[in-house]
Structure 1
Amino acid sequence: MTDTATQPLAQIITARLTAALDPTHLVVTNDSHHHAGHLGDDGTGESHFTVEVVSPAFAGLSRVARQRLVNQALADLLKTRIHALAIRARAPGEG
């Protein structure tokens, strides 16, 4: 990947998911401030995130399969920089 360590992690997540899933809707929320001082807080302010993503790539897939696609796009970040990731993944037209 061509990500740089100087970019905010939310921007990197957005770019990765956009490239991998071509979403029609994507919101990346940094929830780290809710976890300050807790296990997994590395002090960077970029450790806990929520992603809301709507993509045609999810059509016909189970919730677990959708989460796997998101996790694959962010695999190296999940190993090194993201402690917790909440995923809300839907196909277009789903509530």
Structure 2
Amino acid sequence: MAMDAREIETMIRAALPDAIVTIRDLAGDGDHYAAEVVSASFAGKSRVQQHQMVYQALKGKMGGQLHALALQTSAPEA
């Protein structure tokens, strides 16, 4: 079963309440998304650590209900 973009956004915002989240459905199939996540929680963290935080927010759905997620993360610019 595919995930809805709103469900992805809701899960990310639940884990990172200050996040600005933009989700795009890349293939129109509900399985391939691109996400841009900007959060102050990412400050001082490596890109890998930032991505791990987002994957943790998705609670194991990555690779199952969510087949592919092109992820771009950053901390807000000061």
The normalised TM-score by structure 2 is: 0.86
Q: Secondary structure at the match of 1:51?
A: strand
- How many residues in Structure 1 have an aligned counterpart in Structure 2? 77
Gap runs ≥5 in structure 1: 34-44
Contact 1:51 1:87 in 2 (8 A): yes
Q: Deviations over 1:47-75 (max 9, x none)?
A: 10111011011010000000000111113
Aligned to 1:9: 4
Q: Secondary structure at the match of 2:62?
A: helix
Mark the CA change 1:82 to 1:24 in structure 2 (over 3 Å): closer, same or farther. closer
Higher gyration radius (CA): 1
Root-mean-square deviation over aligned CA pairs? 1.8
Deviation at 1:23, TM superposition (A): 3.3
Gap runs ≥5 in structure 2: none
Displacement over 6 Å in runs of 4+: none
**Would you tell me which structure has more helix in proportion to its own residues?**
1
Q: Which of structures 1 and 2 has the larger relative contact order (alpha carbons within 8 angstroms, sep 6+)?
A: 2
**Would you tell me which structure has more strand in proportion to its own residues?**
2
